Amino acid sequence: MKSISKITLKLAVTSFFALLAFTSCDFEEVVDPNGPSVGGVETGASVDQLNGLVVAVESTSRNGLGTEVTASGTMARELYLFDADPRNTGDLLGKNGIGLDNNSFYSTQQWNGSYRCIKNANLLIGSATNTESITEAERQGYLGFAKTFIAYELIQVLKSYNVARVDVADPDNLGPILEFGPALTAVRSMLNEARDNINAAGAEFKFPLSSGFDDFNTPSTFLEFNRAVAAIAALYDGDGAGALAELGNSYFDLAGDLTVGPKHIFGLGGGDQANPVFRIASVSATEPNNGDQIIVHDSWVNDAEAGDTRVTTKTAVRPLPTSQDDLNGTNETRLYATNVTPVDIIRNEELVLVYAEASILASNLPDAENALNVIRNAAGLADYSGAQTAPDLTTEMLNQRRYSLWAENHRMFDLRRYDLSSGLPIDRAGDQIFDTFPVPLSENN
């Protein structure tokens, strides 16, 4: 039995029963109230129990988010995390030739977080399949929701690790870790299965979703989210035409609000969690935040075009520059206003950039330029004035992704998939460049 089953099965059960207390008042049957088990919901689950698992899936999709963003952002020279852990400025930058550790937090937290969510989703699939307490249309809704989240989480794993274990439904008989291409093929197939499930779900879901899905909480609107994920999967698979087709069935809108899209929400109550990427702002030169800080890599500020409002809305100049471990920075994060500010899952701004990239892949260069101008204009910049060639537009597209999606776990993957990681700056003599996290040691046993 691989370690993933031991770790995530335990976490999934804990998460489910903790969250169930907040979402359900009555139980049709409790197998063992003093020692709840997965077996208690896998057969004959009530609607309350199924809906508790839906809450667990949505909640645990946030797990590992903070490390995912800060560790990949450090490796991609987007930011530094200045805190008490020397690995954030040592290991992740290859200080003095050190390699990445496959048993450290930066290798394990995102992996375990994503597979915790996937385990909850697989529990939901099994429970919805093996109960008679719901109609067939309602069952299809649960299945489509769960498969969409599994696919989304697998994409996050692939972005960080370049491999993924797709078949984890049976913890005693786990499938192999797949390379990027085969794993993405499986993800795309799963998203299409989920699409078919959602189409068979009728007009309403049996389950509620959080306020982060306020505009995507019916089968017809959640399907738009499913197709947004499918468009991204197609793009990462090099299928520009496929991505464009999927965007047409999503909430992508060239002329629309760039902030539209589902979001992770946060709270400070029991069983909830705060936004892990938020950091307290410095007040003044006499009251700087010199504790746990996300510091902007100077190159991100210095390379920006004059007048780019993303620099001033996402970051702020510190009252005094700061340094740690021979690394320096002048700006700190302002990406999130409070410790409960939502985090976008996929917003329209990202989909416009997906459309631009897919258009380049499909040789629709005027469409790509038009989309990039939407992003540029929203950031206070004039229209693109470079050559309308695929290489030039690709460079522009990656630059716009760099600024629009700063500190959102995109840059490291973008550099790797375009074979550009070697061009990253080296901030200290002896530092190295990494663009992939090692698969956790426990997964190799």
| CB of 84 closer than 8 Å to CB of 77 | no
Assess whether pLDDT exceeds 60 at residue 335.
Answer: yes
Supply the pLDDT for residue 37. Answer: 55
For 222-232, how does the pLDDT look when each residue is reduced to its tens digit (9 = 90+)? Answer: 999 999 999 99
Which residue spans within 171-237 are E strands per DSSP? 177-179
Residue 42's pLDDT is what?
80
- Within 10 angstroms of residue 433's Cβ, the number of other Cβ atoms is 16
Under the banding of pLDDT at 50, 70 and 90, the label for residue 365 is very high
pLDDT tens for residues 94-138?
999 999 999 999 999 999 999 999 999 999 999 999 999 999 999
Predicted local confidence at residue 285, as pLDDT:
72
Which pLDDT does position 38 carry in this prediction? 66
The DSSP symbol for 382 reads P
Q: What confidence tier does 444 reach under pLDDT thresholds 50, 70, 90?
A: confident
Q: How far apart are CA 126 and CA 44, in angstroms?
A: 10
The residue behind tokens 């550099």 is 415
Q: What is residue 41's predicted lDDT score, i.e. its pLDDT?
A: 82
Residue 311 has pLDDT above 80, yes or no: yes
Predicted pLDDT of residue 179? 98
Q: What proportion of the chain, given as a percentage, has pLDDT over 90?
A: 87
Q: In the structure, what pLDDT confidence band is assigned to residue 207 with cuts at 50, 70 and 90?
A: very high
pLDDT value at residue 104: 97
Residue 271: pLDDT band with limits 50, 70, 90: confident
Which pLDDT belongs to residue 116? 97
Please name which of 334, 122, 350, 121 lies closest in space to residue 228, comparing C-alpha atoms.
Answer: 350
Distance of CA 142 to the CA centre of its chain: 21
Do residues 184 and 205 lie in contact, with contact meaning Cβ atoms separated by under 8 Å? no
What's the rounded mean pLDDT across residues 67-78? 98
Q: Which residue has the tokens 């490796």?
A: 75
pLDDT for the residue numbered 92: 98
Rounded mean pLDDT, 370-396: 98
Helices 240-247 & 219-236 angle (0-180, nearest 10) = 170
The CA distances from residue 35 to 31, 46, 56, 73, 107, in Å, are 9, 18, 18, 41, 31
**What's the token pair of residue 78?**
């987007």
> pLDDT category, 303, cuts 50, 70, 90?
very high
Domains of the chain are 3-208 (1.25.40), 293-333 (no CATH)
**Strand pairing category for 327-333 and 315-324:** antiparallel
> Is the predicted pLDDT of residue 20 greater than 70, yes or no?
no
Distance CA 391, CA 188 (A): 27
Which conformational region is residue 242 in: left (phi greater than 0), alpha (psi within -120 to 50 degrees), or beta?
alpha
Answer yes or no: is pLDDT of 34 > 80: no
Q: pLDDT tens for residues 282-302?
A: 988 777 777 899 999 999 999
CA 24/CA 181 separation, integer angstroms:
41
Q: What is the mean pLDDT of the chain?
A: 92
Q: What is the DSSP string of 179-195?
A: EHHHHHHHHHHHHHHHH
Does the pLDDT value for residue 27 go beyond 80? no
Question: pLDDT tens digit string along 137-187?
Answer: 999 999 999 999 999 999 999 999 999 999 999 999 999 999 999 999 999
Residues shown for the chain: 445
Q: Is the separation of the CB atoms in 276 and 265 below 8 Å? A: no
Rg (CA), the chain: 22
| Residue 283: predicted pLDDT | 84
Q: 431: buried, middle or exposed (CB in 10 Å: 19+, 13-18, 0-12)?
A: buried
pLDDT of residue 185: 98
Percentage of residues in the chain having pLDDT higher than 70 = 91
Structure tokens at 420: 């550009």
- Residue-level pLDDT at 404: 98
- Report yes or no: 84 and 155 within 8 Å, Cβ to Cβ: no
User: Contact at 8 Å (CB) between 402 and 70?
Assistant: no
- Nearest CA among 247, 279, 251, 280 for reference residue 263: 251
